[in-house]
Amino acid sequence: MIRNQEPGIRIQKPGIWGLAVAALLVLAHPLVAQQGPLQVDLRAQLVKQLDGIAGTLTGVIGYRIVDLTSGEQVAARLEKEPFPTASTIKLAILYEMFKQAEAGTLALDTPAPLNRAQVVGGSGVLQFLSAPVLSLRDQAALMIILSDNTATNVVIDAVGMDKVNARMSMLGLAEIKLRRKMMDSAAVKRGDENIASPGALSRIAELVWKGEGLKPESRDAARKILHEVPGQIRNAVPSAVLVASKTGTLDGVRAEAAVVELTGRPYALAVMTTYLANDPDGERAIHDVAAAAFSYFERLATGGAYGRKQP
């Protein structure tokens, strides 16, 4: 569909080279060519279902769902607004850690004793160990899989908070802001909350999963630990489908971001909730959004051009 043009600008018909490029794009992405009225109606049903989930939540929800086959944004709500990230901010920290390791400025596999000054409470196991000696790579695994706050602070100290934020800005994700370490109550009182928009959060999940800007070995290492994260998006998808995800939990806040590796139709999504009257309601909303998204993409992946499921 052609958008309205500014006055005085003529719309030129594509020449032979433009038609050739269009034909190549269709051949390269045959699923994109199937977006006719049937698929448009299916998507409209998804959007309506998601609106219903948002309308029944006693709190605020934002989300963004992206088709990684076509690159198209399928559904979004408050996708550019800042939400508290809780532990989903750890995706940005993980990306920066691998970038610095690739540049040779950070050693991932050198074991080091834990500095007790870095120990904090909340989630994780390091706070209960007497004298752990771990590599930075192992600290990152604890940061993601167990959402260990002490391990996260170890990684933040290693990479630098300012460098994480600079990297996000360089990637066009300035809406992701790491403004405090984990369990820093003084920073919370100052209002220095870690924030991101659902759009930026879904994008960093996609970048980590694709390995954009990373070497294949870094991408594979990131995926390996993200596949081990439990959560509502993982629960909403059949166990045979891989999910690379990160969860976030604070009082009044629930957030998750993931890439669902559905064969033939992978997709990225981030769901962020805040001002929750009841925290479990946020978890249910994330689960329901994730289940609706999977149902939509699974039917696209198996339904062909007309919706009949392929044997």
Span 269-278, pLDDT tens digits: 999 999 999 9
Helices H / strands E in the chain, number of each: 11, 9
- Residue spans of beta strands (DSSP E) within the chain: 60-67, 72-77, 83-84, 112-113, 133-134, 195-196, 243-250, 253-260, 267-274
Tokens of 89: 């901010």
Q: Are 102 and 163 in contact (CB under 8 A)?
A: no
pLDDT at 30: 40
What does the alpha-carbon distance between residue 144 and residue 139 come to, in Å, rounded to a whole number?
A: 9
Longest dimension (CA), the chain: 73
| Per-residue buried b or exposed e for 256-287, using 16+ beta carbons within 10 Å of the residue's own CB | bbbbbbbeebbbbbbbbbbebeeeebbbbbbb
Q: With bands split at pLDDT 50, 70 and 90, how would you rate the model's confidence at 129?
A: very high
Entry pTM: 0.88
- Residues whose CB is less than 8 angstroms from the CB of residue 86 and which lie 6 or more positions away in sequence, other chains included: 194, 247, 248, 249, 250, 253, 254, 255
- The region of weakest confidence among 83-87, 186-190, 210-214, 235-239 is 186-190
- State pLDDT tens for residues 2-20: 333 333 333 344 444 444 4
Q: How confident is the model at residue 34 (pLDDT cuts 50, 70, 90)?
A: low
Q: Please give the single-letter amino acid code of residue 87.
A: S
Q: Residue 107: what pLDDT?
A: 97
Which domains, ranges and CATH numbers included, belong to the chain?
A: 37-303 (3.40.710.10)
Distance CA 160, CA 151 (A): 14
